[in-house]
Structure 1
């Protein structure tokens, strides 16, 4: 087990310094007069909800963005260039970043991935023996004992994350930024990454650690900077800071009032999940869903929310557990079977998994039940247009024609089509994974309204969202997914954002 006390205390002189940095995008103030410093050997946690400005701050430090005003100094030298030259300037001063989405090539070896694009050469020939030796040393530096010729495809998720960190440590870096490095890892694997962070900081390298897992942050970080609405609100000593106070700083006054919803749920249980396990994220999940109920699932990134919906829908295999639909056990758990039982599923990744961009709104809407728009087994253009128009009108989808390519619609209207697909199919239980991700405020409000209307009709909805503030606006009940199981329950109108966020992060 690592702890902040094991990490070399940071020096007083700042390695990185941002002063008065502001960055505006059309209609958005992404960073507002931010002042930020990190010292050598310091582990600084960076906290804030989605849209708080964390990513913009990181891009400022890496040189990927130029502030509209303000200065960025790395090791005492100001970043003055623009474009790719600015990023190269930051890199030459030792700034490295490991993003949440890993960039490894599974079919290549550990050593090849480590030196990809910067092969050790002599006379134009790659020095394989030197590459293997350096790769072994780089991994040993992080406490990982693996053969350099191991294929990345054979590595565990934690080992892949450590490989990314090892790659960032090549070339004597001075600042390493880790963006949610343990979000996809189970607790035991996360320990390996945290131990590596301890080793890195002990060498005098500054670390910015983006995470919401308070248990991890308390173990390895000296301090935490909290951001909200593009501003740096405060920097606190994580060992002495109260979790609820950190949540209050993250959310501000947004959670002051709980929404009051008209409860449309009925006594009838339409879905029951018993002891569902999906390794490594879910150990034992049990809950029930009533007819006409909107049930929210809250939890941090990587807590297993998506895996839960996928296992229920039959697109991911669980290791254990039982599922009952309308009181009867589901014996053959597959996607087709669940659709036949009246289930509908909207995936988290709308563009990759939810729509076919080049096909029309009509084909995307009707794809779950084409038999309703055929004549003698042949698709009828008239019937397709009529059926699609009903969904367009009902869900207020903005499109000039029913056959307009869905890829040309806004994100909000695309999402309405994805939901409308299951409305057309007559599905009675909807599993919605991040249904408002990437849509504007107006579209979000419309989707909330659609969900409440569907519940009033007697349909039941499981609503998964990483945006804590929207759960009280649409859900009758919210369950908190943490450490592999559902730990706490909140009921409307007593769904308080601060308490809900604290419940999500307190056990991590």
Structure 2
């Protein structure tokens, strides 16, 4: 039997109005890769925070690598050998890769930073992990995917015995995922215990040795991963919740007139020619590999990027928004991929975030009318099914899925005609994904034009009426009807097949 690195028994934790964990048991052994699964709000984040010393439990017993008792601070967690790589990155763009890896632990000589040693040690760690990144370059000059790898390098540099990875591949392309999974296998073989939080079942099958499922703050089951099927895991996560398999439009559904159209739109350097239209009452997908220009295309539609050439029309009239405010005034709104830093202000309340783009509707002469604001907020919370303690609590307290619902709610309160959703289900669990799909379909049914961008091709068949293929800087075709299937989309985006 492998040495136990973590043993937790009867762990409970409550916050005002919410019980996050109820009598949860959890253990992790040397070299084990444990998948930790559950819907957003199931208690995963609270459990790993307690492991790492960020939170203290209300009750229960903890033994971390022979140390009895809860860790009382993140510093104690690091000292105990527990490192966490969060889904939301904490890289400082103004610093170099090497500085970020050894943040707060820079080697010194004669009172100054020893840059040669710093860069050499960072290069050694990056080489050990198989990451081809120059340690001297500014973090602002590397991709989001590479920043994720730097976060992992930072964790390993601390000599972690337990490595917690929260959705580590959500920003990575296929090749980088393969590198990461190989690193995990090497670390596991060296005795590092890995806690792997992900909603990608193919990765869990490949990398995990065991799986723990939480639901509503309760430990449901722990088992070897080869003893539970994917459908078993979904049932354990959702319980008695309804699991609709599709949110596609019913047979015979016909979309309305074109609301937004683009002709030969170029958004350099990624998009050289894109011609398409978005119709009222439909969910239109845009599929392409990472780096194909999906996000850049959406940003051009809301004035965040200036097209190099081409034309756009909105309801038949010329449309060329200078900025977000102009796009919003015209009825086009976008929810960004990075919800925490670009889509919301997490230190503000849930209520404030929900009306952030529609202050005029809840104010009079520039003064907020509490009655109007409360009415709007309560309607949004009910419509979106946001799980919260109270509307005024900080958005940061919510799970990722519930934060995403608030970001979408903010957009809906702005009353758009066209809603652009950039990776709205990134890092969101199975149950919350279904809720977001259902919301997208409801909005389309009400006549809204919805555009959906995702890096996970299996999502498009769940909800899209049409899918545009963005490849080699161009819209190369579209997939419709029964052809909206994962394999067809994969072939089209990778260039194996070009749809009509």
Matches within 5 A, 1:74-223: 74-80=64-70, 82=72, 84=73, 87-121=74-108, 124-223=111-210
**Map of 1:28 onto structure 2:** 18
2:4 aligned counterpart, secondary structure: coil
The yes-or-no answer on 1:51 pairing with 2:41 is: yes
Residue deviations 1:459-489, cap 9 Å, x none?
44558999xxxx9xxxx95569999899998
Quick one: distance in 1 between partners of 2:211 and 2:255? 45
**Map of 2:240 onto structure 1:** 253
Distance 1:277 1:208, change over 3 A: farther
**Map of 2:7 onto structure 1:** 17
Q: Name structure 1 gaps, 5 residues minimum.
A: 1-10, 374-380, 400-406, 439-444, 491-499, 504-508
**Map of 1:70 onto structure 2:** 60
Residue deviations 1:226-273, cap 9 Å, x none?
222112222344456432322222222211579999999764343578
When the two structures are aligned, how many residues end up with a matched partner?
A: 435
Cα distance, 1:88 vs structure 2: 3.3
**Map of 1:313 onto structure 2:** 302
Cα distance, 1:35 vs structure 2: 1.3
* Rg larger for: 1
The yes-or-no answer on 1:429 pairing with 2:418 is: yes
Whether the 8 Å contact between 1:18 and 1:36 is mirrored in structure 2 is yes
Distance 1:197 1:272, change over 3 A: farther
Cα distance, 1:432 vs structure 2: 6.1
Whether the 8 Å contact between 2:344 and 2:353 is mirrored in structure 1 is no
1:190 aligned counterpart, secondary structure: helix
Distance 1:228 1:354, change over 3 A: closer
Matches within 5 A, 1:398-409: none
Cα distance, 1:201 vs structure 2: 1.8
**Map of 2:214 onto structure 1:** 227
Residue deviations 1:158-178, cap 9 Å, x none?
432222222212243211111
Cα distance, 1:119 vs structure 2: 2.5
Cα distance, 1:30 vs structure 2: 0.9
Quick one: distance in 2 between partners of 1:88 and 1:462? 44
Whether the 8 Å contact between 1:15 and 1:39 is mirrored in structure 2 is yes
The Cα RMSD (Å) is: 5.7
**Map of 1:404 onto structure 2:** none
Quick one: distance in 1 between partners of 2:175 and 2:187? 19
Whether the 8 Å contact between 1:15 and 1:74 is mirrored in structure 2 is yes
**Map of 1:377 onto structure 2:** none
Quick one: distance in 1 between partners of 2:441 and 2:97? 47
Quick one: distance in 1 between partners of 2:269 and 2:40? 25
Quick one: distance in 2 between partners of 1:360 and 1:100? 21
**Map of 1:38 onto structure 2:** 28
User: Which shifted more, 315-324 or 109-118?
Assistant: 315-324
Distance 1:232 1:480, change over 3 A: farther
Matches within 5 A, 1:484-499: none
Please report the TM-score for the alignment, with normalisation by the length of structure 2. 0.65
Q: Name structure 2 gaps, 5 residues minimum.
A: 380-390, 396-402, 429-434, 472-477, 490-500
Whether the 8 Å contact between 1:392 and 1:398 is mirrored in structure 2 is no
Distance 1:192 1:340, change over 3 A: same
Quick one: distance in 2 between partners of 1:410 and 1:145? 38
Distance 1:138 1:283, change over 3 A: farther
Quick one: distance in 1 between partners of 2:123 and 2:63? 34
